[in-house]
């Protein structure tokens, strides 16, 4: 085979490869979601926080339900907990910081394993809150802050949305699609 034929063969192969790449459907966006927002009864009191607008994101992205408190080793139902003095404490005073940190680490592991680029998390939870949490006095007082899992995921580059920001999340999903085209 002449050099020219060899080069033509190589360039044909790379064109085929480029075409195959262009034909290949874009990999769907994957998003970690607080399992309680998907309808799982994993809230501290055994209830769920099911939100239709969050579940509907599943039409545009692959949703990965995850509950960091369960993966951290806590039971359902369980004592409510809040963040104070850099730790997490149950209402009876028990220090549950370790379980919360373990749940956050498991959430990060799952997100990285499955290639999740974003998370939609339940606002005000000591694990999942992304803008607000309770102040540690168990009086229903809200303060600005993040839950343990939301903070760890954000520190590792995931885009974090609360269940109150599904419109923003939809726009972000659109942007990811257009970046891949």
Binding site for ligand SF4 (CB under 6 A): 34-36, 42-43, 67-69, 122, 125, 127-128
Asked if 154 and 117 touch (Cβ cutoff 8 Å), the reply is no
Shortest spacing between CB 135 and ligand SF4, in angstroms: 17
Comparing CB distances to ligand SF4, the nearer of 78 and 176 is 78
- Taking CA atoms, 150 is separated from 78, 158, 164, in Å, by 20, 9, 15
Shortest spacing between CB 87 and ligand SF4, in angstroms: 16
Comparing CB distances to ligand SF4, the nearer of 43 and 102 is 43
Q: Which helix (H) or strand (E) holds 80?
A: none
Comparing CB distances to ligand SF4, the nearer of 50 and 177 is 50
What pairing do the DSSP bridges indicate for beta strands 62-66 and 30-34?
parallel
Shortest spacing between CB 98 and ligand SF4, in angstroms: 15
Comparing CB distances to ligand SF4, the nearer of 7 and 143 is 143
20: buried, middle or exposed (CB in 10 Å: 19+, 13-18, 0-12)?
exposed
């Amino acid at each position: 085979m002449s050099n020219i034929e060899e080069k033509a063969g190589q360039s044909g192969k790379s064109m085929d490869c480029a075409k195959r790449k262009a034909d290949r459907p874009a990999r769907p966006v994957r998003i970690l979601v607080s399992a309680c927002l998907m309808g799982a009864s994993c809230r501290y009191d055994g209830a769920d926080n099911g939100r239709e607008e969050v579940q509907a994101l599943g039409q545009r992205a692959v949703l990965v339900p995850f509950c960091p408190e369960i993966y951290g080793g806590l039971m359902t139902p369980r004592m409510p907990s809040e963040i104070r003095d850099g730790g997490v404490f149950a209402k009876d005073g028990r220090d549950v910081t370790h379980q919360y940190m373990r749940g956050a680490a498991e959430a990060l592991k799952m997100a990285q394993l499955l290639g999740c680029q974003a998370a939609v998390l339940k606002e005000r939870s000591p694990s999942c809150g992304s803008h607000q949490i309770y102040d540690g006095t168990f009086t229903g007082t809200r303060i600005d802050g993040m839950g343990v899992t939301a903070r760890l995921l954000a520190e590792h580059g995931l885009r974090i949305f609360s269940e109150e920001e599904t419109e923003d999340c939809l726009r972000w999903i659109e942007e990811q699609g257009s970046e891949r085209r």
